[in-house]
Amino acid sequence: MSNKKQRIGIIGAGWWAAVMHIPTLISNPKAEIVGICATDPDALKKVQDEFGIPYGVTDYRQLLSEIDLDGVIISSPHIFHYEHTKAALEAGCHVLVEKPFTTDSKEAKELVDLAARKNLNLNVSHGWNYMPVAEKALKLMRADLIGEFQHAAIQLASPTSDLMKGKGLSLAKDALLPPLNSTWADPSKAGGYGWGQLTHLLGLFFKLVDEGPKQVFAFTSNSEADVDYYNSVSMRLESGATCSISGSSNMPAAFAKFQVDIKIFGSQGNLMIDLEPGRERVLVETFSGETHKEEIKEGDGEYDGSTPANFLVDVCAGTNSEDMAPGIVGYRSVCVVEAMLQSSRNGNVVNLS
């Protein structure tokens, strides 16, 4: 265990890094941001000036070779996550990568295996996974109160309509740097709701239900930018259990930030999770008539963008607790979204090995 400040680098110092990761690390007394990378020189200078970060480069290879790093945060556009994560792991760094983990399941599996071989932590920035609600839900699942898992119904809706239409994110209009439209609304760059948002829901689900997907069939509806806007997915898992998955970009921001609803059905009872602000709940109802209800405070289900970066710092310092969003969770999420988009295109069930 070390008392020194953990040296963290950031590859992809854009919108979300400036909004969340950089302020989080600056406020963490155990962390030091020793270098950042952004391909846009003007954006890089803005971030350096705003936060007083002296070392900034436009080439991630330069960052990894010139700076002694304990950990790296990858918050570059979706299609670069594999390349940047692989390079950081090969440089011997623990890694936190933004979702989606990657946009290719084979590449995701390669990264999970690489991290294991090098004995490095690789976790994905699924903010809900680290919330008190998620930890309490996991406790109930591990208590085996619902018996054999048989089915789940999970849904996510978020106020990202303008983002998926290529009009920018109205909620980020005052941000230092705006989200890149190409990341979210370009079909050739893994734009769309599946990669951009549904992976959050899948990341939480696969932490609660520890098994991989086997078959996926899906319909999607596209936005005017021709990226998926609504998702309707049927999934069978390795055990034979089934799951219905719903995703929607079309959530009015004035009424709620997100709707996150997970229902897990078992042979002895059901687990219900609601993370919508103001109505959070986690409870199990059993066929024997028992109710196990966790005490939930308002705000316990609020999306937490800061904890993943702080978790990385703890990993580097050797003081971390359980990883609530490990690489395997990200890998399974990538498998589902990849298969969802393939099924929607060809109209067939996709079988996953």
Express each pLDDT in 309-342 by its tens digit: 999 999 999 998 899 999 999 999 999 999 999 9
The share of the chain scoring above pLDDT 70, in percent, equals 99
Neighbours of 129 (CB within 10 A): 27
CATH of the domain at 189: 3.30.360.10
Looking at the fold, whether 151 and 23 belong to one and the same domain comes out as no
Looking at the fold, whether 239 and 135 belong to one and the same domain comes out as yes
Q: In whole angstroms, what separates CA 346 from the centre of its chain?
A: 27
348 exposure class (CB count in 10 Å sphere: 0-12, 13-18, 19+) = exposed
pLDDT reading at 147 higher than 80? yes
Per-residue pLDDT tens for 181-215?
A: 989 999 999 999 999 999 999 999 999 999 999 99
Looking at the fold, whether 270 and 187 belong to one and the same domain comes out as yes
Domain containing 251: what range? 129-303+332-351
Per-residue pLDDT tens for 159-169?
A: 999 999 999 88
Asked if the structure places residue 257 within a domain, the reply is yes
CB within 8 Å of 270: residues ≥ 6 apart? 146, 263, 264, 284, 285
Looking at the fold, whether 135 and 120 belong to one and the same domain comes out as no
CA gap 315, 326 in Å, rounded: 12
Looking at the fold, whether 197 and 88 belong to one and the same domain comes out as no
Asked if the structure places residue 327 within a domain, the reply is no
Looking at the fold, whether 121 and 145 belong to one and the same domain comes out as no
- Binned at pLDDT 50, 70 and 90, residue 256 comes out as low
pLDDT reading at 230 higher than 60? yes
CATH of the domain at 84: 3.40.50.720
Looking at the fold, whether 121 and 200 belong to one and the same domain comes out as no
Q: In whole angstroms, what separates CA 265 from the centre of its chain?
A: 24
Asked if the structure places residue 296 within a domain, the reply is yes
Asked if the structure places residue 286 within a domain, the reply is yes
Looking at the fold, whether 311 and 216 belong to one and the same domain comes out as no
Give which of 335, 338, 337 is closest to 327, Cα–Cα: 335
CA gap 255, 11 in Å, rounded: 34
Looking at the fold, whether 133 and 100 belong to one and the same domain comes out as no
Asked if the structure places residue 88 within a domain, the reply is yes
Contact 35, 13 (CB under 8 A): no
Asked if the structure places residue 341 within a domain, the reply is yes
What's the number of domains the chain is made of? Answer: 2
Question: Contacts by 286-292 with C-beta closer than 8 Å and gap 24+?
Answer: 286/145, 286/146, 290/145, 292/140, 292/143, 292/145
Asked if the structure places residue 326 within a domain, the reply is no
Looking at the fold, whether 147 and 214 belong to one and the same domain comes out as yes
Asked if the structure places residue 1 within a domain, the reply is no
Looking at the fold, whether 48 and 136 belong to one and the same domain comes out as no
Looking at the fold, whether 198 and 97 belong to one and the same domain comes out as no
